[in-house]
């Protein structure tokens, strides 16, 4: 049995919420034999993958029992289920990617919005190839990672397609000022990287803010994070936290809300999008 993915956990959590005070036995009985308690439990706890047909049947059942199942929610959950069974482009890199990283790419491909705060690096979705290669090498903590740098750079650049395809994700990035001033032995690398930020910042779905170094103490000093949003149902949103040697997802509704509140405080403290563009331009001219 494969380990539960973030996608399965999100689906299971929402179905558990819809079940409400009903017991698994009561739902199984109401289904007229279509479900048994063990199957319902495995779906809710993400121990097994749900089929789209089963999810639709459950939603019909919950709607008949008085639960609020909007067309938007139905579409979101069925899409979540169907896309969970599809093989994305990143599966060809399964020998390179950790399960957590593969989960992130999958979630990015489905998200409607990504709100990210980065303390020390340019967001991966905005990195150039040279910057990505240097930062991956600089933060590699094992020989295994060092041996697959080129493949990881390919993956990072491929992830960026979500910003430019027909229905692009909305990206709002807040970047610490000192990150824009990072030095490199690769002459011209940061000039190219800052030019990339300026180019991407012109896109209607991309906003970039800079948090100045002289800003008073703030919540962002606790570390970087990204909130991945999935439309009108905030209980499906996920927070991604990454550290030097690991990454984790925050899925509990109250904790996701706390991160979103923290991000709102950061965007209020940061320079405006226009002022940030001017600042990036000034810094680039000095390089």
Of 102, 169, 160, which is closest to residue 129 (Cα–Cα)?
Answer: 160
Which one is the CATH code of 95-286: 3.30.460, 2.40.128, 1.10.1740, 3.30.870?
A: 3.30.870
pLDDT at residue 152, as a whole number: 93
> CA-CA distances (angstroms) from residue 91 to 47, 70, 98, 139, 169?
21, 32, 11, 24, 21
pLDDT at residue 139, as a whole number: 85
pLDDT at residue 1, as a whole number: 30
pLDDT at residue 85, as a whole number: 55
* pTM confidence score: 0.82
Q: Which two tokens stand for residue 34?
A: 């279509």
Q: How many other CB atoms sit within 10 Å of the CB of residue 239?
A: 22
pLDDT at residue 96, as a whole number: 85
Residues of the chain with CATH 1.10.260: 6-84
Q: To which H or E segment does residue 226 belong? A: strand 225-229
Q: Which two tokens stand for residue 109?
A: 């491909």
Q: Which two tokens stand for residue 240?
A: 């991604």
pLDDT at residue 153, as a whole number: 95
The answer to whether 159 and 168 have CB atoms below 8 angstroms apart is no
Q: Which two tokens stand for residue 262?
A: 């923290």
The answer to whether 177 and 210 have CB atoms below 8 angstroms apart is yes
Give pLDDT < 50 ranges for the chain: 1-3
pLDDT at residue 95, as a whole number: 83
The answer to whether 107 and 250 have CB atoms below 8 angstroms apart is no
- Determine the length of the chain: 287
> CA-CA distances (angstroms) from residue 81 to 5, 59, 78?
12, 13, 5
Q: To which H or E segment does residue 199 belong? A: helix 189-200
pLDDT at residue 220, as a whole number: 93
Which one is the CATH code of 6-84: 1.10.260, 3.10.450, 1.20.1560, 1.10.3470?
A: 1.10.260
Residues of the chain with CATH 3.30.870: 95-286
């Amino acid at each position: 049995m494969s380990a539960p993915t973030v996608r399965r956990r999100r689906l299971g959590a929402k179905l558990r919420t819809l079940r409400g005070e009903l017991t698994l036995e009561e739902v199984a009985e109401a289904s007229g034999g279509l479900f048994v308690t063990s199957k319902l439990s495995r779906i809710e706890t993400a121990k097994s993958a749900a089929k789209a047909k089963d999810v639709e049947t459950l939603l019909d059942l919950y709607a008949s029992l008085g639960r609020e199942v909007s067309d938007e929610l139905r579409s979101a959950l069925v899409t979540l289920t169907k896309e969970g069974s599809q093989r994305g482009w990143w599966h060809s890199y399964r020998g390179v990617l950790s399960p957590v990283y593969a989960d992130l790419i999958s979630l990015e491909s489905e998200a409607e919005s990504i709100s990210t705060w980065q303390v020390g690096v340019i967001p991966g979705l905005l990195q150039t190839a040279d910057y990505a290669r240097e930062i991956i090498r600089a933060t590699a903590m094992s020989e295994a990672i060092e041996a697959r740098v080129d493949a990881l750079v390919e993956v990072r650049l491929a992830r960026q397609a979500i910003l430019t395809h027909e229905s692009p994700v909305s990206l709002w990035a807040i970047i610490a000022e000192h990150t824009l001033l990072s030095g490199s032995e690769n002459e011209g690398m940061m000039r190219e990287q800052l030019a990339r930020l300026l180019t991407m910042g012109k896109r209607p779905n991309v906003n970039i803010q800079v948090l100045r170094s002289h800003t008073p103490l703030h919540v962002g000093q606790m570390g970087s994070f990204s909130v991945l949003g999935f439309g009108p149902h905030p209980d499906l949103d996920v927070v991604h936290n990454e550290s030097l040697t690991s990454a984790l997802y925050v899925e509990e509704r109250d904790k996701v809300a706390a991160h979103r509140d923290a991000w709102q405080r950061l965007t209020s403290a940061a320079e405006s999008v226009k002022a940030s563009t001017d600042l990036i331009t000034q810094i680039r001219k000095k390089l």
